[in-house]
Amino acid sequence: MKDTLLTYTAAAEDQDAVLRDILKDRFNLSQALTARLKWQYRIKVNGQWSRTNHRIRPGDVITVDVDFSEENLIVAENLPLDIVYEDEDFLVVNKPSGMAIHPSKSGGTGTLANAVTFDWQKAGIHTLFRAINRLDKDTSGLVLIGKTQFAHQGVFVQDEQRGIRKRYIALAEGLISEDSGTINQPIACLDPAKRQRTVHPNGQPAITHYKVLERLPGHTLLSFELETGRTHQIRVHMLYMGHPLCSDPLYGHPSPWISRLALHAYEMTLIHPRSGKEIILQLPLSADIQSAVDRLRI
C-alpha cells in the first residue's frame, strides 16, 4: 500500500480539543480502531506518540499510521479479476454472474475473495478481504472492498446510514405500465433452511425505487435504487409486482433470452473517508443483458 499515513493539522477551532475527538471527527475513526492504533503506538502529535486524552493546540500535526499487516486465511486463486477502481484504501471490481463473494467454507475456492487474495499477494499486500457491499452469486456488477480496517469502517458506516448510493439495472418479465414507482413492502425469511425470501407483514422494512428505461416485447428494462438493503430485495419485490426478473433461479423461471439472472449493479456513489471527495463509479450494461435487450428489439 502506497500511503497509509493519515495527516491533519489542527485549526484554530481545535484549540483544547481532546485528541480522541479529533480522531473521531476529523479522521472518522471508530472507538475499536482508535484503541487498536493507540496500543500499537500509531497515533502521534508533532511526531511524538501521544495519549488520546492529550489536549490539542492550533498548528499541531496529528498523524495516524493505518498500515496493519494482517493474516488472510483465504486461499489465493488465480482467477480473472476485472478491476474498475483502486487506490491505497479501496478496490472496486466488476464481479461476474456465477461468482460468489466469499467461500462457503474454510478452504473454499472459486470466489471473488480467492481472486482478490491472489492479486494482493502478488502485489505484496497482506490484509484481510473486507467486502463492503454484497451481491448475490447470480448478480453481476460493482463490489467495493476495503483494503484497510480504516477504509472498511469509514465507508461501512456510510453504507449503514445509506450514504452509499447503489443503482442496479434489470430485465423483468412483462410490461410495467408506470414509468416509475416505489415498492414499500416488508421482506421476511420464513424458513431459515431455505434461501428464499418473501413479502410478509412480519418482515423487515424494505423500500425499492424503480424507473422504466425501456419497454420491449413482453419485457421491461428497469433501473433500481434501494433505500434498504435486504437479501434478494429487488428480486422479491419484482416477484411481488408480478414481474420476476428474467432467468431468476429462485423467484422466476428460465428465459430464452438470457441464461443467468438478469440483474446488474452498474453504479455506486460514495464519499471517500480519506479525502472527503465524492467518488462515482459506473459500468456499462453487462454484455449478456445487452444482448438480450438487442434481440428483443428486433
Name the least confident of 69-73, 197-201, 272-276: 69-73
Using one digit for the tens of pLDDT, what is the confidence trace for 159-208?
Answer: 666 668 999 999 999 999 999 999 999 999 988 888 899 999 999 999 99
**H-assigned helices in the chain:** 19-25, 31-39, 112-122, 149-160, 233-240, 287-297
Using one digit for the tens of pLDDT, what is the confidence trace for 3-20?
Answer: 678 889 999 999 999 999
- Which of 32 and 242 is assigned the larger pLDDT? 242
Residue 65: how many CB atoms within 10 A of its CB?
15
Cα(289)–Cα(5) distance, integer angstroms: 42
- Which of 138 and 25 is assigned the larger pLDDT? 138
pLDDT at 211: 98
Report the Cα 10 to chain-centroid distance in Å. 32
CB within 8 A of 205, min separation 6: which ones? 184, 186, 228
Q: Under DSSP, is residue 41 helix (H, G, I), strand (E, B) or coil?
A: coil
CA distances from 39 to 18, 34, 51, 148, 177 (A): 18, 9, 10, 17, 60
pLDDT at 159: 60
Tell me which of 14, 60, 136, 248 is the catalytic residue: 136
Rg, Å, the chain Cα set: 22
Mean of per-residue pLDDT scores for the chain: 91
- pLDDT score of 1 more than 50: no
Cα(49)–Cα(227) distance, integer angstroms: 42
238 within 8 A of 244, measured Cβ to Cβ: yes
Residue with cell string 456488477: 141
Question: Would residue 138 show up in a list of annotated catalytic residues for this protein?
Answer: no
Structural domains in the chain plus CATH codes? 5-65 (3.10.290.10), 68-161 (3.30.2350.10), 166-265+291-297 (3.30.2350.10)
- Which of 157 and 203 is assigned the larger pLDDT? 203
- pLDDT score of 2 more than 50: no
CB within 8 A of 88, min separation 6: which ones? 1, 2, 3, 4, 147, 274
Please give the share of the chain, as a percent, with pLDDT higher than 70. 96
pLDDT at 157: 67
Name the least confident of 14-28, 108-122, 152-166, 201-215: 152-166
